[in-house]
């Protein structure tokens, strides 16, 4: 079986070959202010006070607050997934992260290790981070649900709703300037939408003042390497916004494709 490392190397080579074949970059990336997401059956999930900015914690440092949060929730049994898990996977990374990445839920390896995105999809996410000019420890990575759904099924609406206060709290503590939803479950939960990834990506949404981006889950890229071009477009869109507002990273390496 092909290892993930070999697969990601192959994908990198694929990018380089496409670049050589097709010359100049032909991406057209317009930044469109996020239109209001449609309220749907998934709506309950991540609703904070309407139009509120994310509240800034006042008394403790973000690091202390995050440690306190982890201690308070490490034994959470708010939904049935608590009974199924080996370890809870609350999240990892910097309490001061400017960017918070949100997947759907822990997989088998994450459940075993208690850390998010440490399996095959995690290797892909780390490649994505590198390409965007980030390292893992400067961002924060978590999931919509913190316990592994059996058989890696998608979490259901009740489980997402039960776990929503934990993600809300993490966002309130870390106060990321940017949120990056990885996959449909995270995007639908955060943006209160039932639209497809195709409809939600390539736009800048807003979640209580945090600019919010949507792209495919890294696991989807393991199944279909052609999605990398769309993910690359989303990474570029993020960097356009990040560079305009913060601008502390070297330029993102350009890759080229034929539209």
Cα 60 to Cα 77: distance, rounded to the nearest angstrom: 26
Which of the residues 51 through 110 are near ligand SF4 (CB under 6 A)?
A: 76-79, 81-82, 88
Smallest distance from ligand SF4 to CB 92, Å: 15
Cβ proximity to ligand SF4: between 123 and 143 the closer is 143
Cβ proximity to ligand SF4: between 124 and 190 the closer is 190
Burial class (CB in 10 A: 0-12, 13-18, 19+), 171: buried
Contact 225, 14 (CB under 8 A): yes
Taking each helix axis from N to C end, the angle separating 227-245 and 120-132, rounded to the nearest 10 degrees, works out to 40
Residue 246 touching ligand SF4 (CB under 6 A): no
How many positions of this chain bind ligand SF4 (CB under 6 A)?
Answer: 14
Smallest distance from ligand SF4 to CB 114, Å: 12
Region binding ligand SF4 by CB under 6 A among candidate stretches 1-9, 145-153, 196-204, 216-224: 145-153
Cα 81 to Cα 112: distance, rounded to the nearest angstrom: 14
Q: Report the residue from 115, 125, 162, 220 that binds ligand SF4 according to the rule CB under 6 A.
A: 162
Cα 91 to Cα 82: distance, rounded to the nearest angstrom: 16
Residue 184 touching ligand SF4 (CB under 6 A): no
Q: What CA–CA distances, in Å, run from 57 to 50, 62, 142, 164, 206?
A: 19, 7, 20, 19, 20
Smallest distance from ligand SF4 to CB 67, Å: 17
Region binding ligand SF4 by CB under 6 A among candidate stretches 108-116, 120-128, 158-166, 199-207: 158-166
Q: Say what the alpha-carbon torsion angle 214, 220, 222, 227 is, to the nearest 10 degrees.
A: -60
Residue 147 touching ligand SF4 (CB under 6 A): yes
Six-digit token pair at 114? 């208690």
- Applying CB under 6 A, the residues found at the interface with ligand SF4 are 76-79, 81-82, 88, 145-147, 159, 162-163, 166
């Amino acid at each position: 079986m092909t290892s993930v490392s070999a697969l990601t190397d192959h994908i990198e080579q694929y990018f380089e070959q496409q670049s050589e074949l097709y010359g100049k970059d032909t991406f057209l990336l317009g930044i469109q202010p996020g239109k209001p997401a449609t309220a749907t059956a998934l709506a309950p999930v991540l609703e904070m006070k309407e139009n509120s900015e994310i509240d800034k914690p006042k008394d403790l440092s973000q690091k202390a607050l995050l440690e306190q949060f982890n201690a308070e929730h490490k034994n959470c049994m708010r939904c049935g997934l608590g009974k199924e898990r080996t370890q809870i996977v609350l999240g990892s990374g910097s309490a001061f992260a400017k960017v918070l990445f949100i997947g759907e839920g822990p997989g088998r390896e994450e459940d075993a290790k208690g850390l998010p995105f440490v399996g095959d999809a995690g290797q892909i996410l780390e490649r994505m981070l590198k390409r965007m000019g980030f390292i893992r420890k400067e961002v924060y990575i978590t999931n919509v649900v913190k316990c592994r759904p059996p058989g890696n099924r998608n979490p259901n609406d009740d489980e997402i709703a039960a776990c929503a206060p934990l993600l809300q709290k993490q966002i309130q503590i870390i106060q990321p300037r940017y949120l990056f939803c990885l996959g449909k479950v995270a995007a639908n939960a955060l943006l209160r939408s039932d639209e497809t990834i195709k409809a939600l990506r390539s736009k800048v949404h807003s979640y209580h003042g945090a600019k919010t981006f949507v792209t495919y889950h890294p696991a989807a890229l393991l199944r279909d390497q052609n999605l990398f071009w769309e993910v690359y477009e989303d990474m570029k869109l993020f960097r356009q916004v990040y560079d305009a507002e913060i601008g502390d990273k070297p330029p993102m390496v350009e890759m080229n494709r034929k539209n």
